[in-house]
Amino acid sequence: MKKENFAYLMGMSRHEIKKELGDGFNFFTHDTWTYQVGKTWIGRKIILSIDFKNGKVVAVDLYKTFSRS
């Protein structure tokens, strides 16, 4: 899974992201939303982080973690 796979999200509004990816556990007005989009073969969670500015997506990032939060 690569960051480039989510480049199409750039410039979308919160409503469009919610329609595309669902609610998740995100508070609608927060500037950063996260979604678990997968797991590695050793069990690390792959997290998609979406940053908003003025209601539009300005940054998309992927990271891997073992943590629960």
Q: What local confidence, expressed as pLDDT, does residue 8 receive?
A: 95
Domain count for the chain: 1
Query: 3-class SS at 54?
Result: coil
Q: How many Cβ atoms sit within 10 Å of the Cβ of residue 10?
A: 12
Q: What local confidence, expressed as pLDDT, does residue 4 receive?
A: 86
The whole domain housing 44 covers: 3-65
- Give the pTM: 0.86
Asked if the model's pLDDT at residue 69 lies above 70, the reply is no
CA-based nearest residue to 45, from 66, 21, 16, 17: 66
Asked if the model's pLDDT at residue 48 lies above 80, the reply is yes
Q: What local confidence, expressed as pLDDT, does residue 65 receive?
A: 92
Q: pLDDT digit string (tens) for 4-40?
A: 899 999 999 999 999 999 988 899 999 999 999 999 9
Domain of 36: which CATH number? 3.30.1450
- State how far the Cα of 4 lies from the Cα of 60, in Å rounded to an integer: 9
Tokens 């199409």 locate to: 8
CB 5 within 8 A of CB 61: no
Q: Which two tokens stand for residue 50?
A: 């979406």
